[in-house]
Amino acid sequence: MRKLSESIWSDIQDRSSGETKRKEDDINLLDRDGLYDYLTSHYKNTNSFAPIYNSDTYDTIKVPFLIQGGTDGVYLDFEKNEVSISYASPYKVKGLFSKLADEFSLKSDSKTAWYIISPKDGSEVTNTFYIYVIDFLIDNIPDSFERGVKKIVNESIWSDIQDRSTGETVRKEDDINRLDGEGLYEYLKNIYKELDSFQSIKLHPTMNTISVPIFVQGFKPYRVFFEFDNEEIYIEYTMPYAITGFFSKLKGKFHLQQYDTKQGMPAKFYIFPKDGSDITNGFFIEVIDFLLDCIPNSDDKCIERIVNESIWSDIQDRSTGEVVRKEDDVNLLDRDGFYKYIMEHYKTSTEDVTGPYVIINSKNSDYINIPILEDGINTLYRVIIWNFDKDGRYITIPAKEPFWGSDLFVKIRDTFKLQANTDQLNPLFKVFPKDNKKVDNKFFLEVIDFIIDNAEEPFEPLLTRI
């Protein structure tokens, strides 16, 4: 698989001059590992317990498309060149089976209880066909259900950049104010990460309205609404008073107009630009970002911004050295960003990716917990980075037999500085750099990579770099 060993800009220069043609330019040329890399770059998991999975054992990729009483995935079997879903999957969503039957050729395999999905025109099953099936499934899952993945890239960066840089196309996204309700809804779903599984960005087609959850307090969600027909943005009347100082900040930034019911009771605040300019999609996003910035406790937030600029302007700035993005230095990533980085660059090498084998991002306890090793008696060893968003960050590894005293442990002790804890029930070693520098994201990756590279019998690494 391709590693990020070169800047996006130099890569683009080579490809524009015709010096290179990467596999990614035609995804049908990708092998299983390459396609897995492509999928994890273009789709985001909505549930950490149901990741996109690449199975060496079965020569198969699984993409979860529905979380409903378990995980329902769509599979691509490279050996058989077949796309399949379980027999029960299409019946969990009303009308999904009939839509699948209308769009594809379905063959029931009674022995395995699977539906084999193939093109209706009899053409061959390809990587692009698999992706088409994935998109069809997630597009036909109602918002009332939890999708397993959502798409984060809708076209190749290169063809997009070529067309836009030469002026051949002007996409709606280049001016978000040209997007209709459905287009803006998709845009918002791509630039904001939903943190609360019970509160999602919603499109209300009958009212031609988008509602965006901002925060929850005392089990009560607070949203901001955008009515397209009336070009109105509003919030519930009680929202500015839910947090101390919130109302004064809001009033200082925007023009607020109180709306009263017929009974004279306040119902909501309409929000307008202070300079009297038009209400646009861009202004709606400005309001969303301002509201999020006013929330003092990040744990109360329902969403967070994950994209702050267009791909093209970002690449232009990076190529000229004008900006350094968070992704360009992993030490700038917060806990959620670093967790995402780990999920994109490492994969578990076990078929069982649930329960104890899952990589954990704990918001409440502020740590990232990674299964790293397993020994011959099925003892699991974890590496954990604690106090991620606080001072005093540290890393722990277990101090139990047979790991403690093994050759691998000796190598770790000789390479890093270890400090034993005094808890006999849960003995651990804290791991620090020998030069007494602070524990940062890069150091955590250094520890993970060191353990993976130096593991030997009876220890088996549970992670591989991708």
Backbone angles phi, psi at 180, to 5 degrees: -80, -175
Nearest-angstrom CA–CA distance, 194 and 185: 13
Of the ranges 96-105, 273-282, 359-368, 434-443, which one carries the lowest mean pLDDT score?
359-368
For 322, counting Cβ atoms within 10 Å of its Cβ (0-12 exposed, 13-18 middle, 19+ buried), the class is exposed
The model's pLDDT over 380-437, given as tens digits with 9 standing for 90+, comes to: 778 888 887 676 788 988 877 777 778 888 899 889 998 887 666 667 888 999 888 8
Residues 6+ apart with CB under 8 A from 9: 315, 318, 319
Please give the pLDDT value at position 457.
Answer: 81
Domain ranges of the chain: 8-159, 170-307, 331-465
pLDDT at residue 138 tops 50: yes
Average pLDDT of the chain to the nearest whole number: 79
* Token code pair at residue 10: 């130099």
Mean pLDDT to the nearest integer, 332-341: 86
Count of CB atoms situated within 10 Å of the CB of 424: 6
Count of CB atoms situated within 10 Å of the CB of 440: 17
Question: What's the first-to-final CA gap in the chain, in angstroms?
Answer: 7
Mean pLDDT to the nearest integer, 38-55: 84
Distances (CA, A) of 377 to 274, 275, 353, 396: 67, 69, 19, 22
Please give the pLDDT value at position 5.
Answer: 35
Instruction: Find tokens 């967790």 and name the residue.
Output: 339
Predicted TM-score (pTM) of the model is 0.37
* Token code pair at residue 260: 């009263």
Q: Quick one: which of 151, 130, 118 has its CA closest to 45?
A: 151
Yes or no: say if 380 and 71 are a contact pair by the CB < 8 Å rule. no
The model's pLDDT over 166-179, given as tens digits with 9 standing for 90+, comes to: 444 444 444 688 88
pLDDT at residue 162 tops 70: no
pLDDT at residue 160 tops 60: no
pLDDT at residue 215 tops 90: yes
The residues facing 367 across adjacent strands are 362
Instruction: Find tokens 């030490």 and name the residue.
Output: 331
Where on the phi/psi map is residue 218: left (φ > 0), alpha (ψ -120 to 50), or beta? left
Please give the pLDDT value at position 11.
Answer: 47
Please give the pLDDT value at position 353.
Answer: 54
For 170, counting Cβ atoms within 10 Å of its Cβ (0-12 exposed, 13-18 middle, 19+ buried), the class is exposed
The residues facing 85 across adjacent strands are 74, 115
Mean pLDDT to the nearest integer, 47-59: 84
Q: How large a percentage of the chain has pLDDT more than 90?
A: 24
What is the per-residue DSSP string for 347-408?
EESSS--SGGGS-EEETTTTEEEEEEEE-TT--EEEEEEESTTSSS-EEEEE--TTTTTSHH
Please give the pLDDT value at position 264.
Answer: 67
Q: How large a percentage of the chain has pLDDT more than 70?
A: 79
**Cα dihedral 182, 43, 6, 340 sign:** positive
Count of CB atoms situated within 10 Å of the CB of 126: 16
DSSP assignment letter at 277: P
